[in-house]
Amino acid sequence: MNSLKEIYLDLHRHPELSGQEERTAGVVAGALTAAGYEVRQGLGGFGVTGVLRNGDGPTVWLRADMDALPVREETGLDYASTVTAVNDDGETVPVAHACGHDMHTTALIGAAAQLSATVDEWSGTVVAVFQPAEEDLSGAMAMVDGGLLDAVPHPDVVLGQHVAPGPAGMVFYHPGYTLAASDALQIRLFGRGGHGSRPETTVDPILMAAAVILRLQGIVGREVAATDQVVVSVGVVEAGTKSNIIPDEATLKLSVRTFDLTVREKVLAAITRIVRAEAMASGADREPEITTLYNGPATLNDDAALERVVAAFQAAFDGRVMEVPPGSGSEDFGRLGAAAGAPSVYWFLGGADPALFAPPADLFEVLAEIPSNHSPEYAPVIEPTLTMGVAALVTAARAWLAP
């Protein structure tokens, strides 16, 4: 098998969009087969599982996601991606591992190999779960719907990690809700088009969209408590074809992040109310359309399971384990444990150059300045990120696997 660094460089140079992870799945399947795992492919699209049975004991699922983003990489690295692909809308887009899923995949390949090489030190069953389509929050449920629970042994715990822009060589965690729920919405606003010189004969959907965008931020500022963490971000605004034509419609796509279910329902209801009210105020002839593109639940760490993992981390990585606030990003990792009825633990892996955080630098000031996940400039340093990623997965798994 190639070295882990070679695997990482290969995956980084060959990113694949959500639902298109065929090549990556092949690399994973080959590595798991070489490590002695029972391999199954094609679960929920290009999902891959590897099972290693080693006597009596608990069953541990270790999960990594494999997909990349429609981002043009601007890291300047000599192994930067130059890949393009056709997305679901038929558009050719640049593709890059701007969220670090190539690091997750490589670390789990390494952890699977290390556990296979040390079977005389533990007993139980290891299940490596390589998930497609995390970026649109569909892959975990697709694997479940595709027969995951019947394909592999039932877990006693589900473990996962995500690389983040903290110091490489450290692991970070948060008890309870550690990542937000996510709702991606599309809003179509319908106006009445016409000549730009005669706006009085039209209903301008662009003006309507602008009013909606501004008013949506009032939800965060005025409709939820300051202690309730909510993010509402409009990421796409589409309307018009020419400067002197008022179009018939405008489309917004937005992301909503919440932690509390009651707050989530309140925010979604407020969005619907505001969109409909602005359409009415503008004199629109047609009701707006609000569509959920995808959504995912908040990521919840089981208290007892997290305590067990953190104790193992502190014993193995003395001084390199840190509790942090919850993040407003989102994951579909929690759907695996929920579907299996098993506790889940999810932690973060530092991926930035440790030298950036050397005293007297302030951790959070540095984090505010360096590229983060989804940035065209984001890429973790390979080491010590990769070594720690492998060690964290193995350490967490061994906290369950009987000695």
pLDDT digits (tens, 9 = 90+) for 183-214: 999 999 999 999 999 999 999 999 999 999 99
378 is catalytic: no
Provide φ and ψ at 161, rounded to 5°.
Answer: -145, 160
Q: Which residue in the list 294, 323, 331, 346 is annotated as catalytic? A: 294
282 closest CA partner among 392, 395, 192, 383: 192
Rounded CA gap, 375 and 348, in Å?
A: 18
**3-class secondary-structure state, position 199:** helix
Cα 188 to chain centroid, rounded: 26
294 is catalytic: yes
Q: Which residue in the list 6, 369, 377, 383 is annotated as catalytic? A: 383
Q: Which residues pair with 246 in a beta bridge?
A: 194
Output the pLDDT for position 403: 82
pTM of the model: 0.91
Q: Sorting pLDDT into bands at 50, 70 and 90, what band is 77? A: very high
141 closest CA partner among 44, 26, 274, 282: 44
Q: Which residues sit in the known binding site for Mn(2+)?
A: 99, 101, 135, 162
For residue range 316-355, list pLDDT tens digits in order: 999 999 999 999 899 999 999 999 999 999 999 999 999 9
Mean pLDDT, to the nearest integer, of 378-388? 97
Q: Sorting pLDDT into bands at 50, 70 and 90, what band is 1? A: low
- Residue where the block lists tokens 């991926």: 351
Provide φ and ψ at 343, rounded to 5°.
Answer: -65, 150
- Domains, the chain, in order of start with CATH, read 4-179+298-398 (3.40.630.10), 181-295 (3.30.70.360)
Provide φ and ψ at 108, rounded to 5°.
Answer: -70, -35
